[in-house]
Amino acid sequence: MPPWTAADIPDQSGRTVVVTGANSGLGLVTARELAGKGARVILAVRDLTKGEQAAATIPGTTEVRHLDLADLASVRAFAANLHTDVLINNAGVMYVPLGRTKDGFELQFGINHLGHFALTNLLLPRISDRVVVVASTAHRYGRIDLGNLNAERRYRRHRAYGQAKLANLLFMSELQRRLTAAGSSVRAVAAHPGLTATNLFGRTGNRIENAVMQLTTRLLAQSPEMGALPTLYAATQPVPGDSYIGPGGPAEARGYPAPARRMAHARDAPMAERLWMVSERLTGVSFPFALAGSSV
């Protein structure tokens, strides 16, 4: 079969899609392609000015709304009374120096996981189709340290990023388990972009590392248009819940959408459940449906 491209996205007329971090990079490409196929796309962005500038480049129906994933009050305000068919949890930060969200969480874990965890559960009663979690091959070196999720003891930015992206996949799998137990038809799926040139690179606080990362992306990375394809595939194709899509090329670094590989520790169901319970406690947001045959 020929490779799947954005041209193969089916008609999205009548559907609403929320894309977090939609003002640049993968989020902007994702929003543009879905709006071009008829979807009403809500650009969930921290900077409204940049969001409006991005929306002006997108043909189709768009709406810009403020969402700061580093502030749970902003997440709650955004989710209130919002209905959507698809939620794409795309926004994120990578390898940044130690920082804290407004609620005191380590920045990478707080934005990449906890902010999206809260947003998803707050929106779930008003999502009709699916949740797409944008993960990363960085989950391969990630480990969940339940005793140091917020870097109270020690902070290593690469390990913190790997932990956050592993949390994304564990969250997606546990979300699908809970949706199935609740009898919901909503699906939870994940995708990753491989090595893609985006503005995530170059924010480490280390000039040498920034330069190396930027050179690497210029030489080896694929375009955001290619990097967004796994997300677009996961958002629009009839994939089952708990699917994981990535580039089909060598090492999943580039290429057209294909099933992606998850490390064994990204399939650790007991850890996924423990992480879920900790995430509920930290955010104050719980799964909104009753679970059949479960004590959770």
Active-site annotation, residues: 161
**Contact by Cβ (8 Å): 168, 190:** yes
DSSP lists the bridge partners of residue 187 as: 130
Question: Whole-angstrom Cα distance, residue 76 to residue 174?
Answer: 22
Q: Which long-range contacts (CB under 8 A, 24 or more apart) does 258-264 make?
A: 260/191, 260/192, 260/230, 262/139, 262/169, 263/139, 263/140
Give Cα 213 to chain centroid, integer Å.
Answer: 22
DSSP symbols for 189-220: EEE---SB--TTTT-SS-HHHHHHHHHHHHHH
Interatomic CA distance for residues 45 and 20, integer angstroms: 6
| CA-closest candidate to residue 23, choices 61, 62, 60, 81 | 62
State the Cα angle at 34 between 29 and 40, rounded to 5°.
Answer: 120
